[in-house]
Every structure is written in C-alpha cells, then in structure tokens.
Amino acid sequence: MRAIGEIGVRMEFLRDAPNATASELLDLGEEVLEHWIAARGDAPTDERREGFRLLALHRQGARGEPSFNACRETCRELVYHHNLIALEPDHPETPRRLRLAAMVALHLYLFVSGKMEQSELGEFCCSSRPHHAQSA
C-alpha cells in the first residue's frame, strides 16, 4: 500500500493542481479499502455507489463486519471534500479543503490498518480507551 505521505501536500502543488490532488486522495482511499477487502479474501468491486467507487468499496468491506461501518462517514467526508474541490478548484478555501481531505484520507488509512491488526476496532470507537490501554 502506498504511504499516505506520498501525496506530497505542499502549498504550491495545492495551488497548481487541486483537482489532481483531490482525485489522488480519493484514489488513495480506494486503495486502502481494496487492501481491506483483499485481506478478507474478496475481490474489490469496480461498481459505484452514489457515483463513487470509494462508497461501493466501503459497502462491500462492511458486509459481515458491522464494526467497519465506523469509517462510513470518513469515506463520505472524503467524497465531500473531493466534490467541493472539483466544483470550485479556484475557491479561496481550496488549499484548506485539500489539507482536510488529506487528513481524512490519513484517518481512513489509520482506521483500516488498525482494524486489520485488531478486529474489535470500531465496535465502540476507533479512539476508544480500551484499545489504547490494551496496546500499552
């Protein structure tokens, strides 16, 4: 899996290619979910849900795993930021929106990678105290 840091969210890149950056973040989110699905022995879908493969991948990844729904809103938020940027790439808030989208993509990566290590993650909250106490 590519490191989430590979996106290189530098201010000059954000200003020069906001649509490309937003698409790359969406692609990274898809890649994270592809790894989750493949680790469970399934083939990642190419379908779309509400126009986005990320949402279809989330739906597929949550089948039989109710605690995986904890990252549903994270996926939707990544789509939301993508849409904001795609609709108004020259908006003055675009660099901020891209940074937020990068943080959301990172959160998705951390949740899924944590879930792959500890299956109970997400049953209460991805930042719940029992999970942190257990790892300490």
pLDDT in tens, 79-95: 999 999 999 999 999 99
- Under 8 Å between Cβ of 48 and 81: no
**What mean pLDDT comes out for the span 59-64?**
94
Q: Kindly state the DSSP code that residue 47 receives in the 8-state scheme.
A: -
pLDDT > 70? residue 12: no
Q: Kindly state the DSSP code that residue 109 receives in the 8-state scheme.
A: H
Neighbours of 79 (CB within 10 A): 21
- Under 8 Å between Cβ of 25 and 75: no
**What mean pLDDT comes out for the span 111-130?**
65
**What mean pLDDT comes out for the span 32-60?**
96
- In this structure, the chain runs to a length of 136
C-alpha 59/C-alpha 118 separation (Å) is 20
C-alpha 25/C-alpha 124 separation (Å) is 27
**Burial level of 72, CB count in 10 A (0-12/13-18/19+)?**
middle
C-alpha 98/C-alpha 11 separation (Å) is 10
**What mean pLDDT comes out for the span 50-70?**
93
**pTM of structure:** 0.79
The encoded tokens of residue 132 equal: 């942190």
**Burial level of 118, CB count in 10 A (0-12/13-18/19+)?**
exposed
